[in-house]
Structure 1
């Protein structure tokens, strides 16, 4: 298991975990942490972070209740690293439905697997660009491995999972098995950790889409959007702290994220506008 700094022992057996690998994602994690705290959860809030995250960003996350756990990138081969470098990966597997931000570094995504080294019995992983709008502690009682389908354009997306939210059971044996499969000769994981995890857990259990509601549903599938049912909102592709071409279409969601990032009041989901 990962050795956390002295004085940062787990408080229990369950934890919400996110990964932060740069200052931008630390900004996202700050909003996520506040959203989790406002749900009243008693689970630990854990931020795995690499050395690339500035101290001042980490201090803000700690102030918002995070247990900070430093992690290294995985010990992958030079060939693996070259295949999954940003320019080469996006050249071989371009994104056609949305735009990844410039601070997105695909190789960093694999550090997510280090959660299987954590000293907890049960974990719910959340990408740093998510918000938890309602208490989601029931997810801890789901088995490993559960994730929601990658639905944001049509029902055809149901065959793929999205790794922004999933349930896991930390285990050294599982982590070692993952490393052995991850960097096999010629390995190429088209969507990094997402493709790998779907391959490693081929019988993954499906969570409701409301446990990982992707922001593009807002304008692509508005009939699926339900503030009354959404528990976790996920800002896939463009991030709410960026200036980007879809910002006007996503303005209500961006305003909600900014409310969580700040220290002021947060609107109740019932008071939020509905898709056009």
Structure 2
């Protein structure tokens, strides 16, 4: 890291590897080598949409230069990101073992590399004030069509956390959201985040819904969660899906518990990772229940 970059990191918690190339940016977060692999597929999928927006990769100290190199080659703007300066008590409450014990995931399995405390680094997006508008996309997602229209959506817009039933519509999913970077918003977030005894059971997702209680709803197709494939097959429509989000088990994991159920989606993600034999999305067959109609 150069001296100016180190100084920037010390002062703001961020150290970009170069200037912004646009007023708009897609932003993702990479906290380890696994998510760097995911971000590579995401970056390649965004490139195929011919967007002119930057792709910013916030990355923590858990990622090595070798894992970041493919992202740099794809033209991503890399921004070294410090963890938030939260209290020891806050960190203990949101450590992986403690959080998963107090708020267990009962509908799916979080992989071993999941680091819930790191999720709060998403909030540093609001420090990217060289951009007028940002769209955050989790690194375990791929974009299937141009979504630049999302930059014109208001802050804060997110899709509902629908993957099991229509009752999920009351909760947002923070895997995709719109934002307007602003230093005062970031300061207000930090003040709200680390209050005595506060517990954000789904980390950034719970916090953002609390911070933006009047959040604007995006269509589920702008953050289609992979479990819809087998839980709500009647909702699946390839021609309508803009973003496919691999919540819970990840498509790069070998033989995870849902591999057989999700094989068509895993194969699609692998095609985007390599950039080879990417199919015409609109012609893909739907879930088994829909094939019978």
- Tell me the TM-score range normalised by the shorter chain: over 0.9
Does 1:108 find its partner at 2:125?
A: no
Q: Hey, what's the Cα distance between the residues in 2 that align with 1:108 and 1:239?
A: 17
SS at match of 2:260: coil
Cα deviation for residue 65 of structure 1 reads 1.6
Distance in 2 of aligned mates of 1:22 and 1:208: 30
> Could you tell me which of 21, 25, 30 is aligned with 1:11?
21
Aligned to 2:7: none
Distance in structure 2 (CA, Å) of the matches to 1:3 and 1:217? 36
Distance between the aligned counterparts of 1:5 and 1:130, measured in 2?
Answer: 23
* Runs ≥4 residues deviating over 6 A: none
Give the number of equivalent residue pairs.
275
Correspondence for 1:70 among 80, 83, 108? 80
- What's 1:257 paired with? 269
Shift of residue 263 of structure 1? 2.9
Encode CA deviations 1:98-132: one digit per residue, 9 max, x unaligned: 00000000000000000000121100000000000
Superposition map of 1:54-203 within 5 A? 54-118=64-128, 119-203=130-214
CA distance in 2, matches of 1:216, 1:5: 35
Query: How large is the Cα RMSD of the aligned pairs?
Result: 1.0
Per the TM alignment, residue 52 of structure 1 is displaced from its structure 2 partner at its CA by 1.2
After superposition, give the CA deviation of every residue in 1:65-121 in whole Å (9 maximum; x if it has no partner): 210000001000000000000010010000000000000000000000000001211
2:5 maps to which residue? none
| 1:45 counterpart residue number | 55
Aligned to 1:228: 239
**Distance in 1 (alpha carbons) for counterparts of 2:207 and 2:113:** 22
CA drift of 1:5 comes to 4.0
Q: What TM-score do you get using the length of structure 2 for normalisation?
A: 0.92
- SS in structure 2 opposite 1:98? coil
- Answer yes or no: is the 8 Å Cα contact 1:2–1:117 preserved in 2: no
Q: Is the 8 A contact 1:212 1:234 kept in 2?
A: yes
Contact 2:14–2:81, Cα closer than 8 Å, also in 1:
no
List gaps (5 residues or longer) in structure 2: 1-11, 289-293
User: Does 1:268 pair with 2:280?
Assistant: yes
Larger proportion of helix: 2
Question: TM-score, length-normalised on structure 1?
Answer: 0.98
| Cα contact 1:74–1:111 (8 A) shared by 2 | yes
Compared with structure 1, are the counterparts of its residues 122 and 48 closer, same or farther at alpha carbon in structure 2 (3 Å cutoff)? same
1:208 paired residue number: 219
Listed as ranges, the gaps of 5+ residues in structure 1 are: none
Once residues 100 and 114 of structure 1 are traced to their aligned partners in structure 2, the CA distance between those partners, rounded to angstroms, is: 23
Distance in 1, matches of 2:148 and 2:36, equals 23
Contact 2:15–2:80, Cα closer than 8 Å, also in 1: yes
Do the aligned residues in 2 keep the contact of 1:252 with 1:273 (CA within 8 Å)?
no
